[in-house]
Chain A
């Protein structure tokens, strides 16, 4: 495909949709749907101001702390549980239960136990985002190639070296799949944790706009959340390309043969 054609495919539909949106809002002002230009304008005035420092940045920092903690904790616990068979049977039913609890219902509970503060919001993110990482790590560690596992044993590669060169790389495709899910859940929980009894943050601001019927402002908040989601998946794809480059190459070779 020529680059020109590729660009046309990439922006074709979005341009068409925006044109449609513009055309449909040309007429009398609709209360619920702002005009495209108006939205861009609002977006700029609302978010390129103090809000960037008081609402946007703290939310993002909490999100990153929460995500980093869930990934680290999830991988560490997952490697432990995946390595020891008895530990896996011991914890499996309880983990199944906790994974099945919809994480937002833990917000009222954690508000009670911790209070309404930054720690609570971070813990909310962790309690929801850790499960995909943890369970995928367990599965990944279990599914490590037995031949490679026996080979490392024969060469007496044990302990940390075994972890570094066999278990973690072997489980990394599964772990990354878990991380991908954990990003979107973490973002959802960041917003929800701020919708309860909070006085700052993205979730709070958006609800505030909606309650005050500041419709274009509300849409601009929705757009910010969308952009964060897109940014996260973009960063993730970059990291995944680096970490799993070897794996995708291997898969491609296997497919060709």
Chain B
């Protein structure tokens, strides 16, 4: 709500504090003031003019020549195109050299041959929004309802010299959605007691309760429901001072009755509604839940089929309003209305919230009912509106109130322990200071032996426990006065757990090897979410995704990396080596929450980085990816236990260029090339990826490291070159060598792979270096020869190897 500085100063002495300074203070002690709005900002030389005479423009069928008194010695001629211009109007004149809305400059000029000394303005032309301009002036110039001093700036006559503090309230402080609440808040801050005028009513004639019968079917949902009848009213525009209050708060003035209900809502924060009494055929008002699909037309002309959870107001039979949200077209106040029924109520916030949400009718009224109402002022607001209708519409206020329900709870009493306040805040605020703050808040209290018993007024329904009162003390005492300390007490150990250490190790290693880290979205399309996994689970879908691109929870990290690659390729970044560490989501039978598995995945595409004038460029290949995986597994201590097995089971990967990674009989990941079909579909060059399940690695028990002295005896190396059938894998050879290499074989490394004509079709040559070491003695040639013979004959026998 936009709190008018001028209006506020009628309730509380603002001690001449500048609006901006007041706003800053309110922000620091209570409610964030998003901005201070000056409606006349940027406008100048806009004055009241009195149209003395008009005549049609000789060269136009829609322009009018106006003789306008602008307070100068002579009247000036202004050309006006508005259809509603007429003699004897008091109007807004933008003089030559003036600035109007949007920083537009007005110059003296000629229009179709006739001089024009400025412009007669519509409200929109001096910065009003279409949504607040009274309907009669929406398509023409604005005309003051009464004479104003000509030549004077218009701003003060239109409320534009006011300053509006835009209170950006949090949901708990809806008590400031009315001027009274705002006055209490500001008053507490500047130690001023707010003062509100009394409501004095002259009631006469019939009793409200005789004129209208009221019944509330759901008293639980409607703790207060009060009606008052005002007769013999004359519908007309409201006085300008009231219209100003409305339009400065974004509400369009309609007529005196509607305006009064809105005005009192701004005053008290209590939404009111006015029904045309004569449209209520049975002279009854009921409150009940709607029937399923019950049809209803709200006063904005919209047609609804209501739900059984919606509260409706009825004329005894059919709905005439959606409670707390919007009235109906069938009981709307019109120019012909003579008698109105005013309604002031409290509705259940949850009920109103549900209705406002599904209908998407977030009105000034529904917002307030949702967030809470000052139960103490419901009747007062009703009486205040009646008083204004008597004053402004000549109405006759009927006696008393027709009560549907009037349950007003007792104010809460909350104990405040001054020691507790200081214990929580870390302060040494004296009891006297605390009592002074409670006084500033206008809270009643009893200063008891050790505690203070505070009676919380109903207008502060956000306060119900001691912690709430501690906040009141703290904010008004001033957070700037809090000391700055650090928690003391028993020392605690700060450290990363094993999982966090493992993840850090993984990231650190990949970074050290030149892979850039990325963070992709966890929510993807369904095909993206379920791709690249050996164990696809049912896709987990959002109930109401924002877009189809982000609707399913990912089960792999590769799809995200591919999106990152595509983005980079589209921006001429062709050499990409990236990785991501993050969770994938897997449904688990009989378990509500999915399993979240920490994974790491990497992607390589384009030229090997970094390139330089010293190195020959080449493209990333399978073995770059695999090498990185092995490196990671080594650092994580499981490389020895891992097997790479050719794999053609993941549809998005090349069936001949993919290995699954197996640790203790469990598939923990894969490394491979993106399938050519997939590459084509995504317009990618040849790309390699890997993914590892870090949870599986984390769950692997590692032996304690026990060091040994480095061997002092010479090691022996022997090379062996083999010609093999092409389909014999390196893994087979190595396994056989290890099996037959004896206890001194420490390592087998391949150092050459060759295929070509010389060797023959479907053959290839593999060359290995075998490392032998006896930790306790020097190895003898005969020993090694014997082993080598065993190895080569095993290779020959089992793999038909030909030793070169």
**B is a partner of A:** no
Question: Interface on A for B, CB 8 Å cutoff?
Answer: none
Question: Interface on B for A, CB 8 Å cutoff?
Answer: none
